[in-house]
Structures are given as structure tokens and as C-alpha cells.
A and B are shown apart, each in its own frame.
Chain A
Amino acid sequence: DVKVTQSSRYLVKRTGEKVFLECVQDMDHENMFWYRQDPGLGLRLIYFSYDVKMKEKGDIPEGYSVSREKKERFSLILESASTNQTSMYLCASSLGGATYEQYFGPGTRLTVT
């Protein structure tokens, strides 16, 4: 059973704080993804990684960075949190490209005040 875990379910941060969201998968998947989910907008890809130390920008990378030092772990960093980054953040992993099933974590609901 594939398991993707995220470090926090709920997080409240202040504007300007540095925020770390961590994601761990236990299935040796090559690809990992960070999405944000907002009502009426579906899931939007922030960054993805297809290998250790590799990263690619998604559709909305501004204000975010990522780190993948180990295959099973993919971190999303908000260098200076802003209120418009209040959202649900979902991490996912997959064995391959876009035709492969993506396995999602439960999400982190981040509120920036």
C-alpha cells in the first residue's frame, strides 16, 4: 500500500515567516509533486521532481522553492509567507510521468495571517 505522509495537517503562520512543508513517500517513486488546491481552481502544480536533487517549475512556482535531498522526501518552502499563500497544499508521488497514477498525501491546510 502506497503511503504519502505530510508533516502537518493544519498550520497557522504569520506573514513574512519562513514555512517548511514536508512530504515523505514509502514506495520508492521517482516522481514527486507539490500542488495547491483552492476552491473552483482545482489543483495547480507548484513544483515537481523526477529525481533526487532535480526540480522543475510547475505552473505557479512564484514565492515557493523546493528541496529533494533524498528520494523519499520532498519539501516545499515558502521563503516569506504571504496571505495569498493561504491554501490547501497537497503532495503526491508517482512511478512515472503524467499517465501514471499519482498517490496523494492528506494535505496541509496552511493559513497565513
Chain B
Amino acid sequence: TQLLEQSPQFLSIQEGENLTVYCNSSSVFSSLQWYRQEPGEGPVLLVTVVTGGEVKKLKRLTFQFGDARKDSSLHITAAQPGDTGLYLCAGEGTTDKLIFGTGTRLQVFP
């Protein structure tokens, strides 16, 4: 069974701080997506990474796919209250389905 563990599970920080969220597995994934879910809404795709070692930037968000394609990280620089939400990683499983991570709930206080 392919599993994706995210850490930390909860993160509560002040505006302006930096943070990193981790998504780890013992399995190799062909590609990995990151979603953000705001309260009362469904998840929305932020980025897809497909190549081992790939780094993608989306404004203050930096996504990295591990060299072995077993892990990924999301780094947010100078967090803002608008970054508050649930961050989910999701990997392409062996059966062409998405396997979702356990989630990291981020709260950014002004």
C-alpha cells in the first residue's frame, strides 16, 4: 500500500515567518501534486512536479520533488494570513489513482 505522510500535522505561525511542510513515502511516485484547501471549500491544485529533483516556484511558495521521487517539500517564505489552509500532497499511484497525504493544517496569524 502506498502511503504519503505529511509533517507537521499542524502549524501555527506569525505573519512574516518562513515554514516548510514535508510529504514523505517509502514508495516511488511518478508525479506529485500539491493542493491547498481553504475552509468550506474543496482542494485547489497549486503545482504538479514530475521529475526527480525538480523545483517549482509559485510566488512565495517553493516546491521540491526529491531526487528519488519518494518525497516532496513545500516551503513558504514570509507567510501571510491568506496562506492559511490545509495543504495536501498527492502522488500518482501505481493504479493511475491519486494517493493523498495526511495533510498539514497551517494557520498564519496577523
A residues near B (Cβ < 8 Å) are 4, 9, 35, 40-45, 48, 58, 90, 92, 97-99, 101-107
Contacts and interface: CB of A to CB of B under 8 A. Distances in A.
Given A103-B42, A106-B40, 5 more contacts: A90-B43, A97-B92, A98-B92, A99-B31, A106-B42
A74 B103 CA distance: 26
B56 to A, nearest CB: 14
A58 B42 CA distance: 19
A49 to B, nearest CB: 12
Contact of A102 (B45, B50, B96, B103): B45
Interface of B: 4, 6, 9, 30-31, 33, 40-45, 48, 50, 88, 90, 92-93, 96-98, 100-103
B50 A99 contact: yes
Contact of A58 (B88, B97, B103): B97
A66 to B, nearest CB: 15
Contact of B42 (A40, A41, A42, A92): A92
Contacts of B97: 45, 48, 58, 98
Do most interface residues of chain B lie in helix, strand or loop, or is the interface mixed? loop
Contacts of A58: 97
16 contacts: A9-B40, A40-B102, A42-B88, A42-B102, A42-B103, A45-B97, A58-B97, A98-B92, A98-B96, A98-B97, A99-B48, A99-B50, A102-B43, A102-B45, A104-B42, A107-B41
A50 B14 CA distance: 43
Interface centre among B9, B30, B42, B45 (most CB of A within 10 A): B42
Contacts of B41: 104, 106-107
Interface centre among A43, A58, A99 (most CB of B within 10 A): A43
Contacts of B98: 45, 98, 102
B42 A44 contact: no
A7 to B, nearest CB: 14
A71 to B, nearest CB: 20
